[in-house]
Chain A
Amino acid sequence: AQSVTQLDSQVPVFEEAPVELRCNYSSSVSVYLFWYVQYPNQGLQLLLKYLSGSTLVKGINGFEAEFNKSQTSFHLRKPSVHISDTAEYFCAVSAKGGSEKLVFGKGTKLTVNP
């Protein structure tokens, strides 16, 4: 079985500052990794995904994430955030070659202040 730990439940930052949202996973098999964003009162939208290959993955809205197999991490980063990035971010994992089930972390609420 897979599990995901998002280390910070809330992250406040100022506009134009860099941000890193941390995600660690646990799995006995190889995995696919995903980051989703949820804006207030909306559904979840895929930000980026890691399937294989290059460990640095770029997504929408200037976000990127780096897969680190030895540390079982998939941290999300953005070099300069905007007010509009205020949202909740979810890290998720699924097993390669296994069930399609996605296991989600508990989420990190990013608040960008002016």
Chain B
Amino acid sequence: NAGVTQTPKFQVLKTGQSMTLQCAQDMNHEYMSWYRQDPGMGLRLIHYSVGAGITDQGEVPNGYNVSRSTTEDFPLRLLSAAPSQTSVYFCASSYVRGKNGYTFGSGTRLTVV
């Protein structure tokens, strides 16, 4: 089915470990982004990309890294996990300058112990 696919769905990390959250879309969307969702905080933008080879920081980029080598994929890397990064992470995509809103993945629930 067309859409945004996130893996894994659940992950437990130890403090200091690194990992990559995967995001892939098959809708040929130019724009992709990563949000984190925390209780009472809504969704906060971590990083975004307007096309392959172009990335930029959002509201809360510290501790995260991204790259965009293809239109389809936009992985999010946690360099050295901290308990403050315990959250639910959502990947979203849309057409650049599009007016149709975002398509969201189903999320990755990350716990850092």
Contacts and interface: CB of A to CB of B under 8 A. Distances in A.
Interface residues of B, number: 27
B71 interface: no
B41 interface: yes
Given A43-B90, A44-B90, A102 B42 contact: no
A32 interface: yes
Most interface-central of A36, A90, A97, A100 (chain B CB within 10 A): A100
Interface stretch (B12-20, B62-70, B78-86, B93-101): B93-101
Given A51-B99, A101-B58, A106 B40 contact: yes
Given A43-B90, A46-B101, A104 B107 contact: no
Contacts of B96: 100
Interface residues of A, number: 23
A67 B49 CA distance: 29
Interface of B: 4, 31, 33, 35, 40-45, 48, 50, 58, 90, 92, 94, 96-102, 104-107
